[in-house]
């Protein structure tokens, strides 16, 4: 049988079942045999009732009697008498009344659960129950449990897998044999058998090791190959002119940090090479990435190259255009802003200027990648908050140049080492691991709503000194279905009650771009004391005079997001404060405590990776496509091992085309993970 045949051709799969699988993304036999169990039920050690002793147990028995009774509101207890040839035993389920229908048939079941002393007698508590006749093979074994697909039962999936078992044992090897041998892995087909039909727990771990290795191998190979391909590209060489750079640095109102100098040096060195730069600039919030990009843009402009700076929000693009214009206009470098709000004639004029090369630095949102935008000579592309963009968007911008331009991707979301190795393995990285000298760490504290008035007192004490504050809420409007705070309601309350004597501003994503810009302008100019905002201010916004941020319903936000929000303050020499208000008086989550404890974005990213997995850090949309069923991006040991093997494979000069499956996966990943 061919692995690529549609599922409908398999015995036991009708049109309806096939459609369900289809909807879950399983189209072919190959897809299905790689659909892995989410867990196992261990029926490999079955005890007789006479032999039972406390602990986790499995028995094979029939149900003789079963009743359900309500104990109190919200609690129903189902009690059953189970029997085998050696004796009888009581089983109890809490709030699982459906057990009655399931077990009344009188058929034989495997029951697996904890046998314990409870309510003054020994009983089996909350056991799972699997019909013996549903077992694909009629031996006692470890049973896979599949993620339920729409209405399809795990028993049906098991039955189909059993149909496919002979095929699994014939599936060809997908990895190079030399690697399977040297890494001491089980073969592809043994891995499939081990994962779907394990005879011992050890089979599962061996199978998982092999599958995990393979998943990471494809990913790491892809990034190695991307790196090699990048080396072959030819771009623009931009000469590094020290007098130009020096003049720019001298004119800054501050001294660059050592880290900023090193990053700028890295970039200017890359500019001079034939191979286009492919660099990630990682720097914690407030570490001063913008000025580094500005410096490089200055050099590019001097050599007659245009720079494009793309930012994820209009607020941020507007702010960057202002900052860069201040930095660059003294040198005659022109800066243009292209966003959705630039319309009609103004837009056309800007297009023409970009095309003629009259604008040196074009700052914008996604508007930059539209087909009507044509550059005269685009030599340098900066993508701020790069994880907010998809591969295609980044790619579209790079394609606006006749030659591959130099790329600087910037992010304030630190990438843990394991991710840097895998997903971003092909990049050169510069790190701003040093904050500007004048900063004092933001003092962070968790607050309970009971002390709200006291907290407002603290905020007022900052406002009296002429500082400004943010109040962040998760909702725009009140929602009857939950009790989260909304900017509308908080704005109204603060404006009319607690901070009646102050100027309060309101900012959220449903306002028009012009309204948002107006508010940001007034806040930046110090004309608003308290800005009540949703997370639209989360990325990049820079108002150094703001020294307080109060985050309402803080437990509702992710760790990285809280750190980003906190980064809105602490941008000047003044001591800044971040107040995390919990929704209720219950104990604050681990997340909040970590944010309270640490100001270090890299440390927090590692914690985040452990608490929530890599999806949040890498970007949800993209992570879904990584298709890692077994391997974890937090498994640094396996990553290091796989990395070595992938390197060796590339160096051996082996031809990837010989390995169809691997070649397909790698090509897919290459497209997904590349920055250019
Ligand atoms: P981020 O890395 O979060 O994007 P920004 O580029 O917005 O940070 O810079 C944060 C603030 O720090 C800005 O107001 C900027 O002018 C200021 N800044 C940048 N570099 C320095 C420095 N070396 N010394 C003092 N202030 C600096
Ligand atoms: Mg920034």
Per-residue pLDDT tens over the stretch 171-204: 999 999 999 999 999 999 999 999 999 988 899 9
Q: What is the pLDDT of residue 624?
A: 47
Nearest residue to 377 (alpha-carbon basis) of 296, 305, 309, 274:
305
Q: How far is the CA of 547 from the centre of ligand 1 (A)?
A: 15
- Supply 638's token pair: 């396996």
Band (623; pLDDT cuts 50, 70, 90): very low
Q: What is the pLDDT of residue 146?
A: 87
- Nearest ligand, measured from the Cα of 384: 2
Q: Whose CA is nearest to atom 17 of ligand 1?
A: 288
Tell whether ligand 1 has an atom less than 6 A from the beta carbon of residue 289: yes
Q: What is the pLDDT of residue 297?
A: 98
Instruction: State how far the Cα of 4 lies from the Cα of 295, in Å rounded to an integer.
Output: 54
Q: How far is the CA of 294 from the centre of ligand 1 (A)?
A: 12
Mean pLDDT, the chain, rounded, equals: 88
Buried/exposed code over 52-68 (b: 16+ C-beta within 10 A; e: otherwise) = beeeebbbbbebeebeb
Q: Where are the beta strands (DSSP E) in 462-503?
A: 468-472
Mean pLDDT along residues 563-580: 93
Measured between alpha carbons, how far is residue 293 from residues 320, 328, 383, 409, 567 in Å? 10, 11, 10, 10, 19
- Nearest ligand, measured from the Cα of 568: 1
- What pLDDT, in 10s, does the model give residues 126-166? 898 888 876 655 455 788 888 877 777 787 888 899 889 99
DSSP string, 494-561: HHHTTTTTS-EEEE-TTS-HHHHHHHHHHHHTT--SEEEE-GGGSSS---TTEEEEEETTGGGS-HHH
Tell whether ligand 1 has an atom less than 6 A from the beta carbon of residue 601: no
Nearest residue to 312 (alpha-carbon basis) of 251, 363, 254:
363
Which ligand 1 atom lies nearest to the CA of residue 255?
23
Whether pLDDT at 501 is above 80: yes
Other beta carbons within 10 angstroms of residue 507's beta carbon come to 23
Instruction: State how far the Cα of 277 lies from the Cα of 383, in Å rounded to an integer.
Output: 13
Q: What is the pLDDT of residue 614?
A: 52
Alpha carbons within 13 angstroms on the beta-carbon side of residue 416 total 23
CB 485 within 8 A of CB 552: yes
Which ligand 1 atom lies nearest to the CA of residue 437?
24
Residue showing tokens 């314990």: 116
Whether pLDDT at 27 is above 50: yes
Other beta carbons within 10 angstroms of residue 294's beta carbon come to 25
Instruction: State how far the Cα of 207 lies from the Cα of 185, in Å rounded to an integer.
Output: 8
Tell whether ligand 1 has an atom less than 6 A from the beta carbon of residue 571: yes
Whether pLDDT at 608 is above 90: no
Nearest residue to 605 (alpha-carbon basis) of 427, 466, 412, 322:
412
CB 100 within 8 A of CB 110: no
Q: How far is the CA of 227 from the centre of ligand 2 (A)?
A: 27
Q: What is the pLDDT of residue 598?
A: 93
Which ligand 1 atom lies nearest to the CA of residue 432?
2
Tell whether ligand 1 has an atom less than 6 A from the beta carbon of residue 288: yes
CB 63 within 8 A of CB 82: yes
Classify 413 as helix, strand or coil: coil
Tell whether ligand 1 has an atom less than 6 A from the beta carbon of residue 292: no
Mean pLDDT along residues 303-319: 93
- Burial, 74: exposed, middle or buried (Cβ in 10 Å; 0-12, 13-18, 19+)? exposed
Q: Whose CA is nearest to atom 9 of ligand 1?
A: 288
Helices (H), 89-173: 99-103, 154-168
Which ligand 1 atom lies nearest to the CA of residue 542?
7
Q: How far is the CA of 275 from the centre of ligand 1 (A)?
A: 29
- Supply 297's token pair: 């843009």
| Helix H or strand E segment including 118 | strand 108-118
Higher per-residue pLDDT: 309 or 224: 309
Report the sign of the C-alpha dihedral through residues 130, 134, 140, 143, in that order: negative
Q: How far is the CA of 602 from the centre of ligand 1 (A)?
A: 18
Highest-confidence range of 434-443, 570-579, 583-592, by mean pLDDT? 570-579
Nearest residue to 316 (alpha-carbon basis) of 539, 576, 116:
539
- Nearest ligand, measured from the Cα of 249: 1
Which ligand 1 atom lies nearest to the CA of residue 384?
4
Band (487; pLDDT cuts 50, 70, 90): very high
Higher per-residue pLDDT: 83 or 414: 83
Other beta carbons within 10 angstroms of residue 590's beta carbon come to 11
The region of weakest confidence among 442-456, 505-519, 654-668 is 654-668
Q: Whose CA is nearest to atom 25 of ligand 1?
A: 436
Q: How far is the CA of 376 from the centre of ligand 2 (A)?
A: 27
The region of weakest confidence among 47-56, 238-247, 455-464 is 47-56
- What pLDDT, in 10s, does the model give residues 237-295? 999 999 999 999 999 999 999 999 999 999 999 999 989 998 999 888 888 999 999 99
CB 301 within 8 A of CB 246: no
Alpha carbons within 13 angstroms on the beta-carbon side of residue 608 total 29
Q: How far is the CA of 468 from the centre of ligand 1 (A)?
A: 18
Tell whether ligand 1 has an atom less than 6 A from the beta carbon of residue 259: no
Residue showing tokens 């393979």: 214
Nearest residue to 127 (alpha-carbon basis) of 36, 61, 48, 38:
61
Tell whether ligand 1 has an atom less than 6 A from the beta carbon of residue 413: no
In order of their start, the domains of the chain are 1-39+145-170 (1.10.150.20), 45-140 (2.40.50.140), 242-272+288-411 (3.40.50.300), 443-598 (3.40.50.300)
Residue showing tokens 């959705």: 340
Instruction: State how far the Cα of 412 lies from the Cα of 564, in Å rounded to an integer.
Output: 8
Instruction: State how far the Cα of 166 lies from the Cα of 144, in Å rounded to an integer.
Output: 18
How many contiguous H segments (helices) and E segments (strands) does the chain have?
24, 20
Instruction: State how far the Cα of 666 lies from the Cα of 675, in Å rounded to an integer.
Output: 15
- Nearest ligand, measured from the Cα of 316: 2
CA gyration radius, the chain: 30
Classify 98 as helix, strand or coil: coil
The region of weakest confidence among 249-253, 378-382, 611-615 is 611-615
Tell whether ligand 1 has an atom less than 6 A from the beta carbon of residue 113: no
- What pLDDT, in 10s, does the model give residues 90-133? 999 998 888 998 898 888 998 988 888 877 778 999 898 888 87
Tell whether ligand 1 has an atom less than 6 A from the beta carbon of residue 198: no
Tell whether ligand 1 has an atom less than 6 A from the beta carbon of residue 540: yes
Residues counted in the chain: 676
Which ligand 1 atom lies nearest to the CA of residue 292?
6
Angle at 165 between CA 161 and CA 166, to 5 degrees: 150
Instruction: State how far the Cα of 364 lies from the Cα of 410, in Å rounded to an integer.
Output: 15
Displacement of CA 662 from its chain's centroid (Å): 25
Name, in order, each residue with C-beta under 8 angstroms of 20's C-beta and a sequence gap of 6 or more.
149, 150, 151, 152
Paired with 55 in beta bridges are 115
Phi, psi of 163 (to 5 degrees): -60, -35
β 443-447/468-472 pair status: unpaired
Measured between alpha carbons, how far is residue 176 from residues 208, 368, 652 in Å? 18, 44, 12
Nearest residue to 569 (alpha-carbon basis) of 475, 443, 449:
443
- Supply 140's token pair: 């006692």
- Nearest ligand, measured from the Cα of 317: 2
- Supply 201's token pair: 């727990």
Q: How far is the CA of 566 from the centre of ligand 2 (A)?
A: 13
Q: How far is the CA of 277 from the centre of ligand 1 (A)?
A: 23
Q: What is the dihedral of CA 417, 423, 425, 427, to 10 degrees?
A: -100
- Burial, 479: exposed, middle or buried (Cβ in 10 Å; 0-12, 13-18, 19+)? exposed
Tell whether ligand 1 has an atom less than 6 A from the beta carbon of residue 287: yes
CB 152 within 8 A of CB 17: yes
Q: Whose CA is nearest to atom 26 of ligand 1?
A: 436
Tell whether ligand 1 has an atom less than 6 A from the beta carbon of residue 434: no
Tell whether ligand 1 has an atom less than 6 A from the beta carbon of residue 285: yes
β 406-411/278-283 pair status: parallel
């Amino acid at each position: 049988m061919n692995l690529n045949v549609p599922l409908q051709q398999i015995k036991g799969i009708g049109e309806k079942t096939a459609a369900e699988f289809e909807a879950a993304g399983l189209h072919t036999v190959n897809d299905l045999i790689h659909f892995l169990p989410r867990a196992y039920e261990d029926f490999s050690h079955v005890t007789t009732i006479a032999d039972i002793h406390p602990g986790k147990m499995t028995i094979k028995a029939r149900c003789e009697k079963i009743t359900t009774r309500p104990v109190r509101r919200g609690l129903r207890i189902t009690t059953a008498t189970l029997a085998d040839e050696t004796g009888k035993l009581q089983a109890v389920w809490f709030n699982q009344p459906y057990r009655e229908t399931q077990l009344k048939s009188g058929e034989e079941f495997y029951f697996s659960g904890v046998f314990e002393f409870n309510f003054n007698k020994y009983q089996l508590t909350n056991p799972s129950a699997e019909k013996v006749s549903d077992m694909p093979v009629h031996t006692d074994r470890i049973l896979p449990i599949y993620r339920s697909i729409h209405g399809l039962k795990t028993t049906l999936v098991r039955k189909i897998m059993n149909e496919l078992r002979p095929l699994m044992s014939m599936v060809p090897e997908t990895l190079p044999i030399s690697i399977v041998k040297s890494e001491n892995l089980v073969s592809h087909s043994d891995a499939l058998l081990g994962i779907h039909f394990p005879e011992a727990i050890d089979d599962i771990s061996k199978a998982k090791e092999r599958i995990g290795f393979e998943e990471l191998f494809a990913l790491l190979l892809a990034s190695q190959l991307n790196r090699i391909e990048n080396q072959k590209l030819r771009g623009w060489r931009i000469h590094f002119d020290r007098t130009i750079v020096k003049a720019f640095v001298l004119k800054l109102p501050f001294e660059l940090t050592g880290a900023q100098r090193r990053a700028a040096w890295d970039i200017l060195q890359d500019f001079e090479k034939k191979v286009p730069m492919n660099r990630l600039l990682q720097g914690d919030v407030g570490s001063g990435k913008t000025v580094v990009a500005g410096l490089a843009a200055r050099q590019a402009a001097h050599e007659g190259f245009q720079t494009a700076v793309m930012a994820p929000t209009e607020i941020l693009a507007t702010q960057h255009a202002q900052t860069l214009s201040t930095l660059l206009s003294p040198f005659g470098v022109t800066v243009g802003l292209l966003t959705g709000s630039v319309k009609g004639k103004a837009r056309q004029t800007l297009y023409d200027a970009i095309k003629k090369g009259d604008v040196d630095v074009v700052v914008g949102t996604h508007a930059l990648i539209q087909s009507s935008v044509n550059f005269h000579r685009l030599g340098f592309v900066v993508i701020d908050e790069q994880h907010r963009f998809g591969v295609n968007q980044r790619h579209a911008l790079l394609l606006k140049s006749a030659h591959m331009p130099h790329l600087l991707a910037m992010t304030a979301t630190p990438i843990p080492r394991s991710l840097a190795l895998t997903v971003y393995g092909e990049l050169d990285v510069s790190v701003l691991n040093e904050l500007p000298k004048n900063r004092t760490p933001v003092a962070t504290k968790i607050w309970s709503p009971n002390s709200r008035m006291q907290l407002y007192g603290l905020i007022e004490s900052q406002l009296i000194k002429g500082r400004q504050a943010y109040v962040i809420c998760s909702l725009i409007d009140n929602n009857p279905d939950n009790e989260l705070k909304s900017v509308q309601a908080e704005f109204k309350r603060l404006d009319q009650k607690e901070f009646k004597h102050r100027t309060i501003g309101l900012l959220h994503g449903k306002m028009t771009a012009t309204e948002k810009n107006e508010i940001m302008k007034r806040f930046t100019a110090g004309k608003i004391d308290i800005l009540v905002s949703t997370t639209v201010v989360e990325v990049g916004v820079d108002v150094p005079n703001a020294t307080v941020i109060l985050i309402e319903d803080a437990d509702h936000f992710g760790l990285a997001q809280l750190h980003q929000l906190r980064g809105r303050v602490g941008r000047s020499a003044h001591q800044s404060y971040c107040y995390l208000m919990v929704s209720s008086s219950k104990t604050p989550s681990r997340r909040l405590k970590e944010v309270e404890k640490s100001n270090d974005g890299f440390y927090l990213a590692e914690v985040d990776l452990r608490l929530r997995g890599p999806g949040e850090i890498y970007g949800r949309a993209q992570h879904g496509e990584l298709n890692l069923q077994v391997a974890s991006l937090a498994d640094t040991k396996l990553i290091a091992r796989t990395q070595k093997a992938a390197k060796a494979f590339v160096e051996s000069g082996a031809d990837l085309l010989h390995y169809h499956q691997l070649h397909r996966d790698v090509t897919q990943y290459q497209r997904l993970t590349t920055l250019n």
